[in-house]
Structure 1
Amino acid sequence: MLRLREFSASGYRSLRKIVCPVSELEVFVGGNGVGKTNLYRALELVRAAATNTLGLELAQEGMEAAFWAGARRSGPARIELEASLSDPQARGAARGVYRYHVAIGFPAPTAAAFAAEPQIKEEWLSYDNGERQVRLVDRRGPSVMARDEAGRPIEIDIDLLGSETVLGRLEDPSRFPMLDMVRRTLLEWRFYHDLRTDAGSPLRRPCPAVATPTLASDGANLAAVFATLAHIREDTHDLDAVIAAAFPGARLVVPRPERVATFGMVFSEFPQRVFEPEELSDGTLRFLGLAGALLAYRLPPFIALNEPEASLHPDLMAPLAQLVTQAAERSQVWLVTHSQPLADAIAATGAGKVRTVTKQDGATWIEGLSLIGQFAGED
């Protein structure tokens, strides 16, 4: 799978214009209201382009609310998102950069669309091999050009609504292999911000006993993720170690599943009793959900976490930092947090980059970042 190298967003909420390089582990820390979640959400919208739900998700937010609210240049308001990706295993000419760009705005008065419906104004995918940049896909209004498997530019006859993305609609892997590779990469990304811990949380329920390599975004298959580690891979060393660090004297119990998978916890105070998921505290359950996301059998190529410290005791920041840094050895991790102790615990490991998010004239910014997307002292 491709790795994310750089991300940029402009015109979205508090993101007036920001270009940010991306390492294997990026931690963004800052106070309330500086726009950390907008960074996370803008990146999530790039994935929505691959699922063809970008227009829907912006409509659910409300386009007026989604636009940058500050002063802007003349012309219609637009949200622009861009992600640069490359293959870390490629060598020579194949080690190029794929750049996906999409711009969204309101429909023109004459367009066949609802008045406040998000419309794709511009969309393109390019490939830069270091010597020249080639447009693989170029969409301007209803017109779509794409290069086929032989590299020839051809006009595509596709039934495409203004709210739909080419990335989400053009499905022909054999004919457009590079477009397909970018889309498949984005579809594999996972965003974990809604690991609920209330009584009805999916984390608290059994799930079908199917070998499961990756935690779902809502955590609904957590029991199957644990069962896969325990009974398919037969290796829970890392999982057991982080649980022991987080809850001294406790251990995770994962019965061999039949039709459904489940799990429980045994605590030192009650060594003969297994506490079922519905009995666990919110903090314990949330930590187990994060452990499932970050220690699963197969990690996605990119994991984004939004305030994972929510409902966790301060004593759990060091074990959580351990989880995050272990995951970054197998995947890219993008984390936004209010917790300075969590950021400090990650920084103490020497892994990744810890960035401080601030506001400048109402716009979200990252300390040390230049306008062209470079951090001082970093290549």
Structure 2
Amino acid sequence: MITRLAISGYRSLRDVTLALGRLNIVTGANGSGKSSLYRALRLLSDVAQGRVIASLAAEGGLSSTLWAGPEKFSREMKTGRHPVQGTRRGGPISLQLGFSSEDYGYAIDLGLPPPSTSRFALDPVIKVEAVWTGELLGRANVIAERHGAHSRLRESKSGTWRDCAEHLSHFDSVMTHRADPLDGWELLLLRERMRQWRFYDNLRTDREAPARRPQVGTLTPILAGDGSDIGAALQTIIEIGDRDALADAVADAFDGASLDVNDRFEVEMSQHGLLRPLNVAELSEGTLRYILLIAALLSPRPPELMILNEPEASLHPDLIAPLARLVTKAAERCQIILVSHSSQLVAALDRHPDGWLVQLEKQLGETIVMDRTAPPWKWPSR
């Protein structure tokens, strides 16, 4: 389980360090930084996929994602006695992302490239990376590090450092190019964990949604991010997952209704009083979205971390309480970070013993975490 998340220099997240628990509820007003926090987690996951540079480019490049305010706020700026203005920079321009758990931690520092005439001169550069054991980076617990093109690994038995002969390109991470079963098995383990993080923020339910189309079904223990394999995912839960939990979740939300999957892997819902089941094309957007959430949260192969972005979107208020019960049940099997606008959903989850509320607020353009003491964190130096 991730216990600490750190983000520096990304959009409105000038300097944020969070302590995380089993069930984390991120909330705040529009523009408070919820989406930035979600995107930062996406970028961390993209490091393990080898596409963090491409993801930053898709967001408009490093320059458009960097914190746009001053490096630091003086007391006079915060009180309004002096206008907010740039100050003499004390450190390099950088975007830093990191996390740690009880066993391993990882951090990456991305910066601007040196001046060049290349058409790719605006591509961000990986300046520094570090992998360590435990929650907090220290001099004695680093097991892999990278500075510029140079990287090295610590031998697990002897504790001595081994320099890697092959230099890394500025866009290649140690997580993808130094992880192997022999010399970099800790990196390999951590990389595979990060690759298994699951994100759900694009569960389409419109009339042209992939979930409404006939499918070719194969065993599907993990619902796709767009919900395109919903029929196969539900059938997989029925056959090798918690069939009773699925039936209970549907009946809880839809007053005794039940789901079935036909031979074309189309979802069908039977409801009391109807003479035939409704097929997936007939279901409302809210009903289909809730069924997609059921398939995601009752996965027979739960990840270590699942991130849900505004799962309450398009749901009727009567479905919020069942959704809260579904999320808390899923949190028994995996760590969850849920971003939400719904005060009803936030309140229901915050009352849970494992609920951990992260309230965000914007001050002078900067995202602030309210009523939480930031845990200790140390970034690797360039």
Question: TM (normalized to structure 1)?
Answer: 0.88
Cα drift, residue 231 of structure 1 = 2.5
Matches within 5 A, 1:202-213: 202-213=210-221
Matched, 1:80 2:96: yes
Q: 1:85 to 1:187 in 2, by over 3 A?
A: same
Figure out how many residues of one structure are paired with residues of the other and give that number. Answer: 357
Matched letter for residue 285 of structure 1 = L
Alignment correspondent of 2:227? 219
1:185-229 deviation per Cα after TM superposition (whole angstroms, max 9, x unaligned): 101100110111122222223433322222222222221121112
Matched letter for residue 197 of structure 2 = W
Contact map agreement 1:120 1:141 (CA 8 A) in 2:
yes
Residue among 244, 248, 261 paired with 2:251: 244
**Which whole-Å CA distance do the structure 1 matches of 2:31 and 2:293 have between them?**
25
Residue among 115, 119, 126 paired with 1:120: 126
1:1-40 deviation per Cα after TM superposition (whole angstroms, max 9, x unaligned): xx21110000000001011011000001111110111111
Alignment correspondent of 2:357? 354
Alignment correspondent of 1:94? none
Matched, 1:268 2:272: yes
Contact map agreement 1:144 1:155 (CA 8 A) in 2:
yes
Alignment correspondent of 1:136? 143
Matched, 1:303 2:306: yes
Cα drift, residue 360 of structure 1 = 2.3
**Which whole-Å CA distance do the structure 1 matches of 2:249 and 2:228 have between them?**
21
1:208 alignment partner, SS class: coil
Contact map agreement 1:107 1:115 (CA 8 A) in 2:
yes
Contact map agreement 1:113 1:162 (CA 8 A) in 2:
no
1:79 alignment partner, SS class: strand
Cα drift, residue 85 of structure 1 = 2.1
**Which whole-Å CA distance do the structure 2 matches of 1:162 and 1:291 have between them?**
41
Alignment correspondent of 1:44? 42
Question: TM (normalized to structure 2)?
Answer: 0.88
1:298 alignment partner, SS class: coil
**Which whole-Å CA distance do the structure 2 matches of 1:284 and 1:99 have between them?**
40
Farther-moved stretch of structure 1 (42-51 vs 194-203)? 194-203
Q: 1:373 to 1:273 in 2, by over 3 A?
A: farther
What 5-or-longer segments of structure 2 have no aligned partner? 72-88, 378-382
Contact map agreement 2:100 2:135 (CA 8 A) in 1:
no
Q: 1:171 to 1:178 in 2, by over 3 A?
A: closer
Cα drift, residue 349 of structure 1 = 3.5
Cα drift, residue 254 of structure 1 = 2.4
Q: Alignment identity in percent?
A: 38
1:18 alignment partner, SS class: strand
Cα drift, residue 269 of structure 1 = 4.0
Cα drift, residue 52 of structure 1 = 0.8
Matched, 1:191 2:207: no
Q: 1:173 to 1:206 in 2, by over 3 A?
A: farther
2:277 alignment partner, SS class: strand
Cα drift, residue 371 of structure 1 = 4.3
Cα drift, residue 166 of structure 1 = 1.5
2:233 alignment partner, SS class: helix
Contact map agreement 1:137 1:145 (CA 8 A) in 2:
yes
Q: 1:275 to 1:166 in 2, by over 3 A?
A: same
Alignment correspondent of 2:105? 99
Contact map agreement 1:230 1:254 (CA 8 A) in 2:
no
1:136 alignment partner, SS class: strand
Matched letter for residue 70 of structure 2 = A
1:41-88 deviation per Cα after TM superposition (whole angstroms, max 9, x unaligned): 1111111110011111011101222000111134442100011023xx
Alignment correspondent of 1:71? 70
Cα drift, residue 149 of structure 1 = 4.9
1:125 alignment partner, SS class: strand
- Cα RMSD (Å) of the superposition? 2.1
Cα drift, residue 111 of structure 1 = 9.1
1:273 alignment partner, SS class: coil
Cα drift, residue 373 of structure 1 = 5.5
1:236-293 deviation per Cα after TM superposition (whole angstroms, max 9, x unaligned): 21111121121113211124x5xx53321122342x2222212211111111111111
Contact map agreement 2:306 2:337 (CA 8 A) in 1:
yes
Q: 1:29 to 1:368 in 2, by over 3 A?
A: same
Matched, 1:157 2:156: no
Alignment correspondent of 1:30? 28
Farther-moved stretch of structure 1 (212-221 vs 77-86)? 212-221
2:276 alignment partner, SS class: strand
Q: 1:53 to 1:68 in 2, by over 3 A?
A: same
**Which whole-Å CA distance do the structure 2 matches of 1:324 and 1:342 have between them?**
10
Contact map agreement 2:150 2:167 (CA 8 A) in 1:
no
Contact map agreement 1:52 1:169 (CA 8 A) in 2:
no
**Which whole-Å CA distance do the structure 1 matches of 2:131 and 2:356 have between them?**
28
Q: 1:229 to 1:343 in 2, by over 3 A?
A: same
Contact map agreement 1:120 1:162 (CA 8 A) in 2:
yes
2:129 alignment partner, SS class: strand
Q: 1:213 to 1:111 in 2, by over 3 A?
A: farther
Matched, 1:15 2:13: yes
**Which whole-Å CA distance do the structure 1 matches of 2:252 and 2:299 have between them?**
18
**Which whole-Å CA distance do the structure 1 matches of 2:368 and 2:175 have between them?**
29
**Which whole-Å CA distance do the structure 2 matches of 1:28 and 1:119 have between them?**
30
**Which whole-Å CA distance do the structure 1 matches of 2:7 and 2:29 have between them?**
21
Contact map agreement 2:101 2:135 (CA 8 A) in 1:
no
